[in-house]
């Protein structure tokens, strides 16, 4: 009996956690669709098939949904790293970057709602969570930057500011989520991956743009 009881208690505990995860995910879907502020606890409860009161058996406040969700989201990317690092010696830098982009875009495609959500609701996030999100983004930028820097050393790439270039490329990846209403109409994911790779190659190969004196002169009407 003891033998049976113990695993059962463990299972119970797991059950509550499981349920919590499930509830947070359900809430997240509503957040995606309607936004955090516009989603009511009643809606969440209904979507979960439980009473409003029961919700508070799992969480302490509506904010918790947000925080727990961000936690889940960030922990998804936690320790995220590319397998490409290990392949670096064996392939060209261009190739590495392209693979990285393909990988990145597929991930972004998988979590596009989440990304849109982070752009939209970042204002509501606690400073701690915001920090974490930013750190993770910069970490991902770093992966690309490493590749670009390597390529610059061998002369394969010629960009002067690898970090910014990496960030710009990431921006083009996020575009898949931010402008999906447009991109989905014209491209499949695989098609966009190729387009993105092309753009990225262009960016990292960029050489210094020769300053033409004339066109900077009349630019006096600078706005604040």
Rule CB under 7 A: which residues touch DNA? 9, 12-13, 15-16, 19, 38-42, 50-57, 60-63
CB 19 within 8 A of CB 26: no
Distance (Å, whole) CA 11 – CA 4: 11
Cα 201 to Cα 191: distance, rounded to the nearest angstrom: 16
Nearest one of 75, 57, 58, 65 to 34, comparing CA atoms = 65
Selected from 114, 165, 166, 177, the binder of a copy of itself by CB under 8 A is 165
* Residues from 30 through 59 that contact a copy of itself (CB under 8 A): 34-35, 37-38
- Confirm or reject binding of residue 171 to a copy of itself (CB under 8 A): yes
Q: Nearest distance from residue 46's CB to DNA, in Å?
A: 10
* 134 contributes a contact to a copy of itself by CB under 8 A: yes
User: Which CB, 1 or 209, lies closer to a copy of itself?
Assistant: 209
Cα(106)–Cα(173) distance, rounded to whole angstroms? 9
- Please name the residues in contact with 7: beta carbons below 8 A apart, sequence gap of 6 or more: none
Residue 120 makes CB contacts below 8 A (sequence gap 6+) with 35
Of 20 and 88, the one with the shorter C-beta distance to DNA is 20
What, of a copy of itself, DNA, none, does residue 215 touch, CB below 5 to 8 Å by kind? Answer: a copy of itself
Indicate the SS3 state at residue 61. Answer: coil
Residue at token pair 């400073």: 127
- Nearest distance from C-beta of residue 32 to a copy of itself, angstroms: 10
**Partner whose footprint covers residue 16, from DNA, a copy of itself, none (CB < 5 to 8 Å by kind):** DNA
For residue 116, the tally of other CB atoms under 10 A from its CB is 15
Positions in the binding site for a copy of itself (CB under 8 A): 34-35, 37-38, 91, 94-95, 98-99, 102, 106-107, 109-110, 119-120, 123-124, 134, 138, 159, 161, 164-165, 167-168, 171-172, 175, 178-179, 181-182, 186-187, 194-195, 197-199, 201-206, 208-209, 212, 214-215, 219, 222-224
């Amino acid at each position: 009996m003891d033998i049976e009881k113990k695993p059962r208690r463990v299972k119970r505990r797991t059950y509550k956690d499981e349920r919590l995860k499930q509830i947070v995910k359900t809430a997240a879907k509503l957040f995606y669709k309607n936004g955090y502020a516009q989603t009511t606890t009643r809606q969440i409860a209904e979507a979960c098939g439980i009473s409003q009161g029961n919700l508070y058996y799992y969480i302490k406040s509506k904010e918790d949904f947000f925080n727990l969700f961000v936690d889940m989201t960030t922990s998804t990317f936690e320790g995220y790293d590319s397998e490409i690092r290990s392949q670096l010696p064996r392939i060209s830098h261009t190739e590495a970057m392209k693979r990285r982009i393909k990988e990145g875009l597929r991930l972004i495609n998988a979590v596009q709602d989440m990304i849109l959500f982070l752009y939209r609701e970042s204002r509501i996030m606690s400073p701690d969570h915001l920090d974490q999100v930013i750190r993770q983004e910069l970490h991902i930028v770093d992966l690309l930057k490493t590749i670009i820097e390597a390529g610059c050393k061998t002369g394969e790439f010629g960009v002067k500011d690898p970090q910014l270039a990496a960030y710009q490329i990431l921006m083009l990846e996020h575009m898949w989520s931010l402008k999906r209403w447009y991109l989905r109409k014209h491209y499949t994911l695989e098609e966009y991956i190729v387009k993105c790779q092309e753009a990225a190659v262009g960016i990292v190969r960029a050489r210094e743009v020769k300053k033409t004196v004339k066109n900077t002169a009349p630019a006096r009407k600078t706005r604040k």
